[in-house]
Amino acid sequence: MKKTTADVLPAEGGLGDTPLLAVEDLHVEFHTRAGVVRAVNGVNYTLNPGETLAVLGESGSGKSVTAQAIMGILDMPPAVIPEGRIRFRGTDLLKLSDHDRSKVRGQRIAMVFQDALSALNPVFTVGWQISEMFQVHRGMSKRDAMAKAVELMDRVRIPAAKQRVNDYPHQFSGGMRQRIMIAMSIALDPEVLIADEPTTALDVTVQAQIMELLGELQRESNMGLILITHDLGVVADVADKISVMYGGRIVENAPVHEIYRNPAHPYTKGLLESIPRVDLKGQELYAIKGMPPNLLDMPSGCAFHPRCPYRQDDCVSDSPQLHVIGGARSSACHYWREVLDGGNE
């Protein structure tokens, strides 16, 4: 591993063996009056250029908090990061000064949020909002920046971009507004794009179009893309690999097709069986029984044990570590072999 120095901005250019982004043993707590909320409890994932990582898990599993830690937009306090590293091109972002961090945020690592309507300013035209990125960060003239805004609106396939650049956010549909947000996020050619549930507020056909667009932009620019979702159904065609989160930890990492064919964690298996399937129409959907863990008072042993059909005594006492089970796959289940054997085939 390349030796890194704190307070030095991540290098540009070739990466060698260094991952583009590596989250290592990340912990995030919120110190609240009710107690310490353990939102992220040792997350590990890596991302390379041109790769799409889907981060999957029920609401409250720590997906967004992990992303906010990467972006450096957590309010600290109440958030505390007691342990972990976020290496971007080998440099630990957690060790950078605020000034250096702000040069990475939005420019080299960018983010798209779920709610495009509240993220856009209703009183400015979309062209103004996109062009501001170029004026502020690239020192462009107003006129040049506006031309770049039209170019970007074209790139995210907004029809009649030249005419619509002077329209206001409310004049666009939800899907088009999300395209505008995506245009703003890629304006400065980031190396990593994090999309946090970018399609949750949209209807199904528009969801698919936005996913397709993200995939296209990623291929054109060779970005690393982190796609956060609670819906396994939407990422199958776009993602290269999947990290499944539960209770603030990664419980399974796998290449996308292997996880669909044969999950190695009971939680992943439950999520897969919860996807509606056309061929099983009329049958009752399997849903994972029980509730997500209370992050103020985590269960002993494996956090999933109270809901797990594979539970044995040691699951209540010993927390299973995420370990490699072959190839690019890892699972945090003592009984991953049994889960695999009873797979979906």
Q: Extract the tokens encoding 215.
A: 């995939």
Cβ nearer to ligand ADP, comparing 153 with 225: 225
Q: What is the DSSP letter of 14?
A: -
The Cβ-side half-sphere exposure at 264, using a 13 Å CA radius, reads: 27
Cβ nearer to ligand ADP, comparing 63 with 164: 63
Cβ nearer to Mg ion, comparing 64 with 207: 64
Q: How many residues does the chain have?
A: 345
Residue from 75, 99, 102, 104 nearest 87 by CA = 104
Work out how close the CB of 147 gets to ligand ADP at its nearest, in angstroms, rounded to a whole number.
37
Work out how close the CB of 68 gets to ligand ADP at its nearest, in angstroms, rounded to a whole number.
8
> Which one of Mg ion, ligand ADP, none interacts with residue 134, CB within 5 to 8 A by kind?
none
Q: Are 265 and 251 within 8 A, CB to CB?
A: yes
**61 sits near Mg ion (criterion: CB under 5 A):** no
Cβ nearer to ligand ADP, comparing 183 with 239: 239
**Spatial distance between the Cα atoms of 85 and 329, rounded to a whole number of angstroms:** 22
Instruction: Give the footprint of ligand ADP on this chain (CB under 6 A).
Output: 30, 32, 37, 39, 57, 59-65, 78, 295
**Spatial distance between the Cα atoms of 140 and 251, rounded to a whole number of angstroms:** 46
**Stretches 1-9, 59-67, 117-125, 164-172: which one binds Mg ion (CB under 5 A)?**
59-67
Work out how close the CB of 112 gets to Mg ion at its nearest, in angstroms, rounded to a whole number.
13
**64 sits near Mg ion (criterion: CB under 5 A):** yes
> Which one of ligand ADP, Mg ion, none interacts with residue 335, CB within 5 to 8 A by kind?
none
Q: What is the DSSP letter of 36?
A: E
The Cβ-side half-sphere exposure at 322, using a 13 Å CA radius, reads: 21
Work out how close the CB of 222 gets to ligand ADP at its nearest, in angstroms, rounded to a whole number.
27
Q: What is the DSSP letter of 105?
A: B
Cβ nearer to ligand ADP, comparing 64 with 91: 64
Phi–psi pair at 179, nearest 5 degrees: -65, -35
Q: Which chain residues interact with Mg ion by CB under 5 A? A: 64
